[in-house]
C-alpha cells in the first residue's frame, strides 16, 4: 500500500488476522476483518477490541500546564482539580469559535495533563499549543507519547474481560471518564470509548498492548475495524472531527454547546468572546440526527430538504445503522428545523422521508427511537 | 486472496458474467468488489424488460459504509432479476459467484467474447 502512510504497532497483527486495510487520516488502518456487521454486533452484544493507535497521546507538563489548558480548551479543566486520573471531553477553539479539534484531557497531577488527540490534527494541535505557551511565556513542556499505542476494548462484557488481564479487580467500580495509571505508569487505562457502549481505552507500550490483544483474542473476543467503529459511533451520536464539524463550525452549531464552560467569569479562553457573542444572537444552524427507512441510506454530502422541497442542509455522516436496521445520519440543518419535524433526503434521483431527531440513536443497549 | 473462477468473464468495473446459454447471461459482482464494498445491506436491481447499456449504471449496491453503482458489462434486455436478494443482501458477500447473482440478460455472444478472462481480471484487480 501507499508507503507514505504511517502504520501502528499492530500492523503485522492486523495482516495476520485477515484485516482489509485502508488509509485513514494518514495512517494505514484495519477497515474490517471480514464483516463490519459482525464486528458491530459483537461490540453491541458482548465485546470487541480496536487498534486506535492513530489517535495520539500528548503529555503536557510544567507549572503552567493548567493555565495553558484552561486557556486552550473550551471546557474547564478546573473541574478536574484534585481528581487524579479524571478525564474530560472538550473542544479546542480558534478565537472566532471555530473548532480546531475535539479531545479528551486527563488530569494526572496539578502539573501534568494527558491529552488524546485525533490522528489528523495531532501535529497541528501540538504546534498550536506550543505557540500559545511561547506567546504567554508559560512554563510548559510537551511530551508526545510516540512510544505508546492505544487499544480500545468496548462492549457490555469489556470491563469483566479486561479486569483480570490488567490485574485490576475493581475496574467495574471505576467511574466513567476515570483513568488509572498502572504498572509504574507504563500503562494507562480509562473508562472511555467511542461506541456508545461501556468499555476502556488502554494506552501503553506496543508489547503490552499486543499481549492484551492476544489474550482477548484467545478468549474468543474478536477484533473490530474502523468501519464498525464508524457505525457504532454514529449510532451513539458521537461526532467525527473533520467530517461532522471543523474550523468553520462552532460548538453551539455542532450540538456541542455542553463542551463550552462559561461558569468562571474570570477564565479567558480561546473562542470565549465569539461564543458569548453567538449566544446573544439567534442560532441559524444546528447539527441534528435523521432517521430514514431501511432502504433509504443517507451518505455524506447528500442534500436535506424541507417537506416543501426547499434545501435546508447537508448530511455530514450517514450510513445504514446495523442496530436499528435503517438509514441514519447526522446533518447540518438551517434553523428552525429540528427534532419532531419532518424532512427529506435526496438519494440519487429520488427523495425519501426522514424524521429529524436529537442524537444519539442508540444508548446503553437499546434504540432511542421506536422502530 | 479473492476468488476469480476461470469459467467466467469479467468487466473492468468488477462484474462477472456467466454464459448460461447462447445469448443468455447471468451477472453479479466479483469477490474483489464485495471485499471493497464491505457488508452489503441493500441491492437495487434493474427491472425485468429494461434495456441496459454496457458500461452504464443499471442499479445500486448499498453497503453499510458506501453506495456504489451497479454496471452492466453487456448491452441487452434484462430477462430475470434475483428477487430474493431483497431479503438476503448478504449473499453478495457470502457467495458472490453463486447465490449472490444479481440479474440475467439477453445479449450478444460477440460482446461476451471480448470481456476480460480470469487471467486478465486477476491482473486488473491485483489479485
Domain locations in chain A as residue ranges: 11-53+148-235, 56-143, 282-367
Tell which CATH classification among 3.40.50.1110, 3.50.50.60, 3.40.50.2020, 3.30.70.1400 matches the domain A56-143: 3.30.70.1400
- pLDDT grade, residue A365 (50/70/90)? confident
Q: Using CA coordinates, name the residue in chain A closest to B44.
A: A295
Contact A36 B38 (CB under 8 A): yes
Inter-chain CB proximity B65 and A227 less than 8 Å: yes
Q: By a Cβ cutoff of 8 Å, what residues of chain A touch chain B? A: 20, 31-32, 35-37, 40, 227, 230-231, 294-295, 297, 299, 319-320, 322, 347-348
For the domain bounded by A11-53+148-235, which CATH number is listed?
3.30.1360.120
pLDDT at A327 over 90: yes
Q: Among B67, B90, B93, select the one facing A297 at the smallest CB separation.
A: B67
| Cell reading at A64 | 503552567
Residue B3 lies in a domain: no
For residue A370, the surrounding DSSP H or E stretch is none
Stretch B92-119: mean pLDDT: 96
Are B62 and A230 a contacting pair at CB < 8 A? no
Q: How confident is the model at residue A339 (pLDDT cuts 50, 70, 90)?
A: very high
User: Is pLDDT of B83 > 80?
Assistant: yes
Residues B24-29, mean pLDDT to the nearest whole number: 98
Write the pLDDT tens digit of every residue in B2-18.
899 999 999 999 999 99
Q: How many CB pairs under 8 A join A and B?
A: 42
Helix (H) / strand (E) element for A317: namely strand A311-321
- Sign of the dihedral through C-alpha A250, A252, A256, A257: positive
pLDDT per position as a tens digit, A192-237: 999 999 999 999 999 999 999 999 999 999 999 999 999 999 999 9
Q: What is the pLDDT of residue B1?
A: 63
Which strand ranges, in their side-by-side order, compose the sheet holding B67-71? Answer: B40-44, B57-63, B67-71
B73 found inside a domain:
yes
- Residue found by looking up cell 446495523 in the block: A322
Cβ atoms of A319 and A228 within 8 Å: the answer is: no
- State the pLDDT at residue B127: 64
Q: What is the pLDDT of residue A328?
A: 97
Length, in residues, of chain B: 127
Mean pLDDT of A127-134: 98
Cα dihedral A50/A56/A62/A65 (nearest 10): -90
**Alpha-carbon distance values, B120 to A69, A152, B25, B56, B117 (Å):** 58, 42, 20, 21, 5
One DSSP character per residue, B65-82 reads: S-EEEEE-SS-EEEEEE-
Q: Is B60 within 8 Å of chain A by CB?
A: yes
Nearest Cβ partner for A227 among B38, B41, B44: B38
The total number of structural domains in chain B stands at 1
Contacts of B44 in chain A (CB under 8 A): 295
Alpha carbon distance B101, B92 (integer Å):
7
A326 → chain B, closest CA residue: B41
Q: At what angle do helices A206-218 and A158-166 cross, to 10 degrees?
A: 120
Question: What is the H or E stretch that residue B37 is in?
Answer: helix B31-37
Residue bearing cell 435523521: A290
Average pLDDT, chain A: 96
Query: Nearest C-alpha of chain A: how many angstroms from B42?
Result: 7
pLDDT of residue B23: 96
Write the CB contacts of B14 (distance below 8 Å, at least 6 apart in sequence).
B29, B30, B32, B33, B36, B125
* Sign, Cα dihedral of A302, A306, A310, A311: negative
Range of the domain at B41: 9-125
Mean pLDDT of A123-139: 97
3-state SS, one letter per residue, for A241-302: ECCCECCCCCCHHHCCHHHCCCCCCCCCCCCHHHHHHHHHCCCCEEEEEEECCCCCCCCCCC
User: Count of CB atoms within 10 A of residue A346's CB?
Assistant: 16
Alpha helices in A85-157 (DSSP H): 122-136
> Distance (Å, rounded) from C-alpha A274 to C-alpha A25?
29
Which CATH number fits the domain that encloses residue B19? 2.40.50.100
Mean pLDDT for all residues in chain B: 95
pLDDT at A370: 67
Mean pLDDT computed over B47-71: 94
Are the Cβ atoms of B65 and A20 closer than 8 angstroms? no
State whether CATH 2.40.30.110 applies to domain A282-367.
yes
Percent of chain B with pLDDT over 90: 92
| Confidence at A267, pLDDT banded by 50, 70, 90 | very high
Per-residue burial over B12-25, b = 16 or more CB atoms within 10 Å of its CB, e = otherwise: ebbbbbbbeeeebb
pLDDT tens string A270-312: 999 999 999 999 999 999 999 999 889 999 999 999 999 999 9
- Residue to test with chain B: of A297, A300, A315, A352, most B Cβ within 10 A: A297
> What pLDDT, in 10s, does the model give residues A52-64?
999 999 999 999 9
pLDDT digit string (tens) for A12-67? Answer: 999 999 999 999 999 999 999 999 999 999 999 999 999 999 999 999 999 999 99
Amino acid at each position: 500500500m501507499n508507503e507514505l502512510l504511517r502504520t501502528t504497532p499492530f500492523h503485522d497483527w492486523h495482516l495476520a488476522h485477515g484485516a482489509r486495510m485502508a488509509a485513514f487520516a494518514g495512517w494505514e488502518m484495519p477497515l474490517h476483518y471480514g464483516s463490519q456487521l459482525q464486528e458491530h454486533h459483537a461490540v453491541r452484544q458482548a465485546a470487541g477490541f480496536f487498534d486506535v493507535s492513530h489517535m495520539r497521546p500528548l503529555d503536557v507538563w510544567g507549572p503552567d500546564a493548567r493555565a495553558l489548558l484552561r486557556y486552550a480548551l473550551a471546557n474547564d479543566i478546573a473541574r478536574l482539580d484534585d481528581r487524579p486520573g479524571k478525564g474530560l471531553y472538550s473542544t479546542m477553539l480558534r478565537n472566532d469559535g471555530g473548532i480546531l479539534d475535539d479531545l479528551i484531557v486527563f488530569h494526572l497531577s496539578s502539573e501534568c495533563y494527558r491529552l488524546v488527540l485525533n490522528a489528523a490534527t495531532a501535529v497541528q494541535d501540538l504546534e498550536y499549543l506550543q505557540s500559545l505557551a511561547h506567546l504567554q511565556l508559560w512554563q510548559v513542556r510537551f511530551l508526545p507519547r510516540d512510544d505508546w499505542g492505544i487499544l480500545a476494548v468496548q462492549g457490555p462484557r469489556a470491563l469483566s474481560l479486561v479486569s483480570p488481564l490488567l490485574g485490576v479487580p475493581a475496574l467495574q467500580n471505576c467511574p466513567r471518564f476515570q483513568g488509572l495509571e498502572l504498572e509504574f505508569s507504563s500503562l494507562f487505562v480509562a473508562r472511555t470509548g467511542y461506541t456508545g457502549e461501556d468499555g476502556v481505552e488502554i494506552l501503553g507500550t506496543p508489547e503490552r498492548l499486543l499481549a492484551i490483544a492476544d489474550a482477548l483474542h484467545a478468549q474468543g473476543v474478536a477484533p473490530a475495524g474502523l468501519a464498525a467503529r464508524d457505525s457504532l459511533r454514529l449510532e451513539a451520536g458521537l461526532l467525527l472531527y473533520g467530517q461532522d464539524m471543523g474550523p468553520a463550525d462552532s460548538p453551539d452549531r455542532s450540538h456541542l454547546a455542553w463542551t463550552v464552560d462559561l461558569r468562571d467569569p474570570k477564565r479567558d479562553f480561546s473562542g470565549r468572546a465569539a461564543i458569548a457573542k453567538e449566544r446573544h444572537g439567534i442560532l441559524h444552524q444546528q447539527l441534528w440526527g435523521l432517521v430514514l427507512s431501511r432502504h433509504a441510506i443517507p451518505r455524506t454530502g447528500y442534500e436535506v430538504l424541507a417537506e416543501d422541497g426547499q434545501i435546508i442542509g447537508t448530511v455530514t455522516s450517514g450510513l445504514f445503522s446495523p442496530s436499528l436496521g435503517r438509514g441514519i445520519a447526522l446533518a447540518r440543518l438551517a434553523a428552525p428545523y429540528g427534532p419532531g419535524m419532518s424532512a427529506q433526503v435526496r438519494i440519487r434521483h429520488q427523495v425519501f422521508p426522514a424524521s429529524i431527531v436529537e442524537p444519539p440513536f442508540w444508548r446503553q443497549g437499546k434504540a432511542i427511537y421506536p422502530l | 486472496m479473492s476468488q476469480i473462477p476461470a469459467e467466467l468473464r469479467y468487466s473492468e468495473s468488477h462484474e462477472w458474467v456467466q454464459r448460461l446459454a447462447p445469448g443468455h447471461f447471468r451477472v453479479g459482482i466479483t469477490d474483489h468488489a464485495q471485499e471493497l464494498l464491505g457488508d452489503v445491506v441493500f441491492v437495487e436491481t434493474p427491472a425485468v424488460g429494461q434495456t441496459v447499456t454496457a458500461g452504464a449504471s443499471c442499479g445500486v449496491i448499498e453497503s453499510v459504509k458506501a453506495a456504489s453503482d451497479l454496471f452492466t458489462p453487456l448491452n441487452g434486455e434484462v430477462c430475470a432479476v434475483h428477487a430474493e436478494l431483497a431479503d438476503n443482501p448478504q449473499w453478495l458477500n457470502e457467495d458472490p459467484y453463486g447465490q449472490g447473482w444479481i440479474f440475467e440478460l439477453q445479449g450478444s455472444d460477440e460482446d461476451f467474447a471480448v470481456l476480460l478472462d480470469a487471467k486478465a481480471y486477476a491482473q486488473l484487480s491485483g489479485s
